[in-house]
Amino acid sequence: MKKIIFMGTPSYATCILKALVENENFKLVALFTQPDKAVGRKQILTPSDTKAFLSQNYPSIPIFTPSSLKDKNIIREIKDLNPDFIVVAAYGKILPKAILDLAPCVNLHASLLPKYRGASPIQSAILNKDEKSGVCTMLMEEGLDTGAILESLECDIKDKNSSEVFELLANLAAKLILSTLLNFDKITPKKQEESLATLCRKIKKEDGFINLQNARELYQKYLAFTPWPGVFLENGLKFLELELVDELKQNAKMGEILELEKESFLLACKQGVLRIKKLQESGKKALDGRTYLNGKRLKSEDSLC
């Protein structure tokens, strides 16, 4: 039975953690995750998704939430656990060489490397209109997502939002990690092709800002930034649900309400048309498109903003 230290934080990582802890070939000896965070208006201290799952279902397995992995006591703690593998999935911290040298460190990255190294591979794939994405296992080294690839699985992501793709890739990753660890000695690591490498940065709230220039680009942003940070106009109006109706039509009036429907309306971008199904003003409740227009006394041929 192989001893595993797992390092991960969000729900994506929990799916992988669950697969490992339930498999009879592995023994989870510890979880490393981000410290509890103050959440919401009341700033309630909340554990990470992985910590909540493990403490509720497997309370005897130790959980570590170090602020730094460079702490000598933490490194000694990991060494004393004597893991056969350290598995990392969306942990949120860089592993120093002192830890990388203790055991094979296998990272699950939510892209088909070397494409989209970094913090936002799923959102980046959607923004770039990729129809395929995937997940891969790689041997970790000191560089950011630069290690040799062990195995990969791909899937179709066309017209899926980030939340849907996260779930899809988490389930793939859960299968993939079992395959990689069980067949580790038979796998020949494949060096990444540096000439094909691309980087992606962490998503910020302001990335959700949109204009009405291009319907296709706005639609891809909507998919990429659902559920967070969402997409919103300069005045703070959020589009919560929308569909791409036409991506080529040139419209004279950007922001014009083209047609009212039962619970939605068609909105003109400079290029293309969107169906706005649900929207929300800052500080107010979400409304379907038609109800929102009725409340604002807006009709066909009026400007939304």
pTM above 0.85, yes or no: yes
Please check if 10 is assigned to a binding site.
Answer: no
151 and 233 belong to one structural domain: no
Q: Residue 223 in contact with residue 249, Cβ under 8 Å?
A: no
Q: Residue 120 in contact with residue 194, Cβ under 8 Å?
A: no
13 and 42 belong to one structural domain: yes
Please check if 152 is assigned to a binding site.
Answer: no
Tell whether 302 is covered by a domain. no
Tell whether 278 is covered by a domain. yes
Tell whether 303 is covered by a domain. no
pLDDT at 208: 98
Please check if 111 is assigned to a binding site.
Answer: yes
88 and 23 belong to one structural domain: yes
Q: What is the CATH number of the domain that holds 261?
A: 3.10.25.10
Q: How far apart are CA 51 and CA 56, in angstroms?
A: 8
Residue 79: exposed, middle, or buried by beta-carbon count in 10 A (0-12, 13-18, 19+)?
A: middle
pLDDT at 305: 82
How confident is the model over 75-107, as pLDDT tens digits? 999 999 999 999 999 998 989 999 999 999 999
Tell whether 301 is covered by a domain. no
148 and 215 belong to one structural domain: no
Q: Which residues of the chain have pLDDT under 70?
A: none
* Sign of the alpha-carbon torsion through 134, 139, 140, 145: negative
How confident is the model over 107-154, as pLDDT tens digits? 999 999 999 999 999 999 999 999 999 999 999 999 889 999 999 999
Last residue of a domain, one of 200, 234, 264: 200
163 and 264 belong to one structural domain: no
Q: How far apart are CA 276 and CA 72, in angstroms?
A: 54
Please check if 60 is assigned to a binding site.
Answer: no
Domain hosting 281: range is 205-296
Tell whether 304 is covered by a domain. no
Tell whether 305 is covered by a domain. no
Last residue of a domain, one of 181, 200, 219: 200
Q: Which of 124, 139, 138 is nearest to 199 (CA)?
A: 124
- Count of structural domains, the chain: 2
134 and 152 belong to one structural domain: yes
